[in-house]
Amino acid sequence: MKFLNTFIPLMIILFSCEYRLEVDAPDFDVKLQAGPVYKTGDTVRFAFTGYAGNITFYSGLPGADYEFRNRTEIKDGVPQIELVTQYGGGGTQLGSLRLMVTADLASMDSAGVVNATWTDITEKADIASNTTITPSGVLDLSGYIDPGKPLYFGFKFIGETSDTHIPGNWIIHDFVANTVMDDGNALPVVTMPSASWSTFSILNDASQWILRNNNTQAYIIGGGFNAPQSEDWMITKALNFTKVPPDTGLPIQNIGSNALEGYEFVYNTPGTYTVTFMGSNYTVDDHKEVIRQFTITVE
């Protein structure tokens, strides 16, 4: 019995090695039916011949470029942020909102906020001076990046005690951070909802930042005449302007679906795009693929 217990598993291993499930390379080709120059809004049509069990489409748009399917970090690019502010409530302390950045936030707590070395970049932005909703314009953060460290952005509210000037209220309508490449494409870093804001009341808990509408908006009420002095922060998570997610393609056919005869796509932004179709066959033991690419121009 001991012999059989050893012999049977050995036979299973030998059998598995002998009958490895291999696949053939896909007999798959693609033809661009017109072009290669199109107008925005045109339908770009591709015709398929042959067969591949799985087909993945890369449009060439940012985030869907086959060339960058394995990219997780970039060396070039300009770190930028944009925000939208509104001042309300009849306040007259217009300098009560400050835009701050730091690369040395040791801990995401009140002590960390107070002890960090912050740089005030408020003067780089257009900040609302009344109830008009005001876009800031683009803020270039290149001079504040410390290589190897993430950057943190903060809204700092300071309300001064006064019998003549009301601290007033602020609303943040939007915030977005991007890395802009040489070709003009913007790689997203965070948006207002995804920035994972942390709020801290350093002085006077009666005034504090409040997030609302699924974190798409934030506001703070500064208080009236002779309100206690306030200091309140709203800070992003660590912003890394060099880390990027790999570009991904769109699976348009798999082994369990009907075979496609072609594919259509509409480009709404002018530019030159490398379109890629990846046809593949695979099993648990083997994988083979073919790549078909086209360069198109959208005017």
- What pLDDT score was predicted for residue 5? 52
State the pLDDT at residue 4: 45
Q: Round the average pLDDT of the chain to a whole number and report it.
A: 90
Q: Which residues of the chain have pLDDT under 50?
A: 1-4, 6-7, 14-16
CATH code assigned to 23-70+245-298: 2.60.40.10
HEC readout, the chain: CHHHHHHHHHHHHHHHHHCCCCCCCCEEEEEECCCCEECCCCEEEEEEEEECCEEEEECCCCCCCHHHCCCCECCCCEEEEEEEEEEECCCCCHHHEEEEEECCCCCCCHHHHHHCCCEECHHHCCCCCCCCCEECCCEECHHHCCCCCCEEEEEEEEECCCCCCCCCEEEEEEEEEEEECCCCCEEEEEECHHHCCEEEEEECCCCCCEEECCCCEEEEECCCCCCCCEEEEEECCCECCCECCCCCCEEEECCCCCCCCEEEEECCCCEEEEEEEEEEEECCCCEEEEEEEEEEEEC
pTM of the model: 0.72
